């Protein structure tokens, strides 16, 4: 009897172990959004689905192009700071450390933006245009955030180089 109870308890632990150790990752969120989208869009007209995909495809193209440009800027900002330090015998100061921090921060923001996948949060087929515009607005504000981080690190770097 005792053996059975213990075995059952162990089985219960085994079944719940994965839930205990599970951790929500950005990938889980993307997959969940994707499955929600796919579950809803399969009932939409094929031409409507195609239109939605055209818009999200365009978002991906613009995101890739712009984040590539921002990434180039960040690599050059890092090189500028390295060259400045080289010219000053590698003596780092509070301002150079601050510039390094913001350059790293902006570079990470750009990499994070580049990895984003935009998926519709569909409400209903009659609200397709609003859903599309809502995704575009989300993309704009997130890309602008990355861009503003780049501009800010450039301003901090300007303070060091002048």
Angle between helices 46-87 and 94-114 (to 10 degrees): 160
Nearest Cα to Cα of residue 116 among 33, 48, 42? 33
One residue of 14, 46, 89, 91 binding other proteins per CB under 8 A: 14
Residues 6+ apart with CB under 8 A from 162: none
The count of chain residues that interact with other proteins, using the rule CB under 8 A, is: 68
**Distance, C-alpha 78 to centroid of its chain:** 22
The whole-angstrom separation of Cα 86 and Cα 49 is: 55
Binding mask 97-136 for other proteins (x = CB under 8 A): --------------x--xxxx----------xx--xx--x
Structure-block tokens of residue 145:
């955030």
Nearer to other proteins (CB atom), residue 39 or residue 117: 117
The footprint of other proteins (CB under 8 A) covers 2-3, 6-7, 10-11, 13-14, 17-18, 21-22, 25-28, 30-31, 34, 47-48, 51, 54-55, 58-60, 62-64, 66-73, 75-77, 79-80, 83-84, 87, 111, 114-117, 128-129, 132-133, 136, 139-140, 143-144, 147, 150-151, 154, 157-158, 161-162
């Amino acid at each position: 009897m005792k053996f059975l109870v213990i075995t059952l308890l162990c089985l219960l632990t085994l079944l719940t172990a994965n839930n205990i150790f599970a951790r929500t990752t950005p990938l889980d969120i993307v997959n969940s959004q994707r499955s929600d989208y796919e579950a809803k869009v399969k009932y939409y007209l094929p031409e409507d689905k195609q239109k939605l995909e055209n818009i999200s495809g365009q978002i991906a193209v613009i995101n890739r192009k712009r984040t590539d440009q921002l990434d180039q800027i960040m690599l050059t900002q890092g090189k500028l700071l390295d060259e400045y330090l080289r010219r000053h015998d590698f003596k780092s100061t509070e301002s150079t450390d601050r510039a390094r921090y913001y350059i790293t921060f902006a570079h990470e923001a750009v990499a994070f933006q580049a990895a984003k996948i935009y998926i519709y949060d569909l409400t209903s087929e009659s609200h397709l245009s609003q859903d599309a515009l809502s995704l575009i607005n989300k993309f704009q504000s997130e890309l602008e955030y990355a861009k503003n981080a780049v501009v800010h690190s450039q301003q901090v770097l300007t303070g060091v180089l002048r």
